């Protein structure tokens, strides 16, 4: 099962990814998470990516494609994978298709989660993430059992550097200009499904399971 999660920043890609990978037993590949891990470790890649991420701009295509395709070569991807936040431009999608074709593979499903801009802003500015395991919460919508503490692993929750009003608004703008054209790209490929992301976490997940099958 080779899957892509598409949707604007704050649509719930990471939240649904956690549930999808558990049910279908495939690895979660988030380019955003890979960059954040590199920033934390202070690597060269992290330094390069941070410049763009702090402004809510996209990291240059060549850099992202190399990182994503390298990750896809790993052994744990041989029976499927869930891409979250990649591809994000038509160029990245074409490079991904070329890479997969070279391995005799293709994308089976693209899950496009849609949420309106007002709701996205509320979600992004209210998001809190676990410093250690990356689990995602929301101060109002999905509060942790104990304020500021991760339900999953007990570590402190933090706010992402790009979850302020200004950067979040720019990320939505960048999504509309650079990533939204992918909807057309995958419509032509005939493998995209659209999901209303505003119907509650469990309902969104049930809609995904309906598409992918038990």
Active site (catalytic) residues = 13, 88, 127, 160, 171
Instruction: For the CB of residue 78, give the shortest distance to ligand AP5 in the complex, in Å.
Output: 22
CA dist list (Å): 55 to 49, 50, 69, 162:
10, 9, 25, 7
How many residues bind ligand AP5, per CB under 6 A? Answer: 38
14 is a site residue for Mg ion (CB under 5 A): yes
77 is annotated as contributing to ligand binding: no
28 binds ligand AP5 (CB under 6 A): no
What sign has the CA pseudo-torsion 143, 146, 150, 155? positive
Binding ligand AP5 by CB under 6 A: which of 2, 3, 15, 50? Answer: 15
Residues 6+ apart with CB under 8 A from 59: 31, 35, 48, 49, 52, 53
Given a contact cutoff of 8 angstroms between Cβ atoms, the answer to whether 6 and 89 are in contact is: no
118 membership: H or E segment, kind and range: helix 117-126
Question: Of residues 50, 69, 82, 86, which one binds ligand AP5 by CB under 6 A?
Answer: 86
CA distance 127 to 184: 29
- Say which residues have a Cβ less than 8 Å from residue 200's Cβ, sequence separation at least 6: none
Q: If binding is defined by CB under 6 A, does position 2 make contact with ligand AP5?
A: no
Task: In whole angstroms, give the CA distance from residue 189 to residue 90.
Answer: 13
Q: Which of 4, 10, 109, 130 contacts ligand AP5 by CB under 6 A?
A: 10
Residue 134 makes contact with ligand AP5 by CB under 6 A: no
Judged by CB under 6 A, which of 4, 39, 85, 182 binds ligand AP5? 85
Q: Which does 38 bind (CB under 5 to 8 A by kind): Mg ion, ligand AP5, none?
A: none
Scan for tokens 């032509």, then name that residue: 188
Return the residues of window 150-209 that contact ligand AP5 according to CB under 6 A.
171, 197, 200-201, 204
Cα separation of the two ends of the chain: 12
Q: Which positions lie near ligand AP5, rule CB under 6 A?
A: 7, 9-15, 30-32, 35, 52-53, 56-59, 64, 85-88, 92, 123-124, 126-127, 136-138, 141-142, 171, 197, 200-201, 204
- Residue numbers in the known binding site for AMP are 31, 36, 57-59, 85-88, 92, 160, 171
> Which residues are annotated as part of the binding site for ATP?
10-15, 127, 136-137, 199
């Amino acid at each position: 099962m080779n899957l892509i999660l598409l949707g604007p920043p704050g649509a719930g890609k990471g939240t649904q990814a956690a549930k999808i990978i558990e049910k279908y037993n495939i690895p979660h590949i988030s380019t955003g998470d890979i960059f954040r891990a590199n920033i934390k470790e202070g690597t060269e890649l992290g330094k390069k990516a941070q410049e763009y991420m702090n402004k809510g701009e996209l990291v240059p295509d060549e850099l992202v494609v190399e990182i994503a395709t390298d990750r896809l070569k790993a052994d744990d991807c041989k029976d499927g994978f869930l891409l979250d936040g990649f591809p994000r431009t038509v160029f990245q999608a074409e490079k991904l298709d070329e890479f997969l074709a070279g391995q005799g593979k293709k994308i089976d499903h693209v899950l496009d989660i849609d949420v309106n801009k007002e709701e996205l802003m509320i979600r992004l500015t209210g998001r809190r993430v676990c410093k250690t395991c990356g689990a995602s919460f929301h101060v109002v919508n999905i509060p942790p059992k104990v304020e500021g503490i991760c339900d999953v692993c007990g570590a402190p929750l933090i706010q992402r550097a790009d979850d302020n009003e200004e950067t979040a608004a720019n990320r939505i703008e960048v999504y509309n200009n650079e990533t939204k054209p992918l909807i057309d790209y995958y419509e032509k490929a005939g493998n995209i499904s659209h999901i209303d992301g505003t119907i509650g976490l469990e309902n969104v997940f049930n809609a995904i399971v309906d598409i992918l099958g038990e």
